[in-house]
Structure 1
Amino acid sequence: MTAFLKKYMRPAYKSISRALGYSLTLGTSEAWAAFSTIAAHRLSLEDRAGMAFATLSSLDPAQAEQVAAAALRAAGMPASSFLGAMLEARLWAHSATETERKAYCLACFEVMAEANQSAFLQRATAMEAAA
């Protein structure tokens, strides 16, 4: 089997295998960042997605969620407002993932007073019409 793999393994896969070994050996954030760059250049989207899926599947769900959130640079929960609620909300929304923005938007909308829900919908409709 080893002779077969050596003979038929694509060169890109050989270099990725070496890069993975170096990253595992060094274990630093710099080494993993370099591996990410190499993988982006040497592997297809399908190859990278397969590696990501296999690796995330090897973790327990809470760990997998934390790793995926870090990879997506998720913003986490909004912080307390020190600079003013609207400014803080805009800063948070800028760094949040699409999933986070949708979840917090809907959750906030659901607990608004009915009058504020109507005002929100009117503003959103006006913004959509202006676009």
Structure 2
Amino acid sequence: MSNRKRRSFLSSNMSPKHKRMARMLGYCLVLDDVEAWTAFGVVACAKLAERERLSLAVAALATLPDDRIIEAASFCLGPTGAPLPPFLGGMDEARFWASCATRAELKAHALAAFEAMSPKDRLAFYRHICEVEIAA
């Protein structure tokens, strides 16, 4: 089938709601602002099935670098919040929290913890991370 026939076939067989969504996507790409993209999400939720929205999200996310995928997912899921108080020793809980935290949360808590350490503990921590870096 030629490209011209394929486009004609798709255009004549595309549902009205899919045509509206395609047109809305075009408008959002032109406007490219928060209000337009927010409206796109609202309309997509109303006009597209969950499977269609999931496919659209996966297709878009798959084109991004890993750090941007994590950033987008973190935005959608929201922040992890503060670490829980330790129950037994703290390292297991800290590692679990760190595995769920956003990049910004990790950086903020790491810096705050480092700043709260005594000079002796800072030196020991610095030596530890230097050894870990060399071992890696």
Report the TM range for the smaller structure's normalisation.
0.5 to 0.7
- Name stretches of at least 5 consecutive residues in structure 1 with no aligned partner: 79-103, 114-131
- Name stretches of at least 5 consecutive residues in structure 2 with no aligned partner: 1-5, 92-136
Q: 1:75 aligned to 64, 75, 79, which one? A: 79
1:111 aligns with 2:89: yes
Number of the residue aligned with 2:51 = 46
Question: What letter is aligned with 1:25?
Answer: V
* Aligned-residue offset at 1:76: 4.8
1:22 aligns with 2:27: yes
SS in 2 for 1:35: helix
Aligned length: 86
Number of the residue aligned with 1:32 = 37
Counterpart CA distance in 2 for 1:110 and 1:11 is: 59
Q: CA RMSD in A?
A: 2.1
Counterpart CA distance in 2 for 1:49 and 1:36 is: 12
Question: What letter is aligned with 1:5?
Answer: L
Deviation per CA, 1:44-92, whole angstroms, max 9, x where unpaired?
00000000011111101110010111122x12553xxxxxxxxxxxxxx
Name the TM-score, length of structure 2 as normaliser: 0.57
Counterpart CA distance in 2 for 1:7 and 1:37 is: 26
Counterpart CA distance in 2 for 1:58 and 1:38 is: 23
Name the TM-score, length of structure 1 as normaliser: 0.59
Q: 1:110 to 1:65 in 2, by over 3 A?
A: farther
Sequence identity percentage? 30
* Aligned-residue offset at 1:15: 0.5
Deviation per CA, 1:26-59, whole angstroms, max 9, x where unpaired?
0000000000001000000000000001111110
- Which protein shows a greater Rg? 2
Q: Which runs of 4+ in 1 moved over 4 A?
A: none
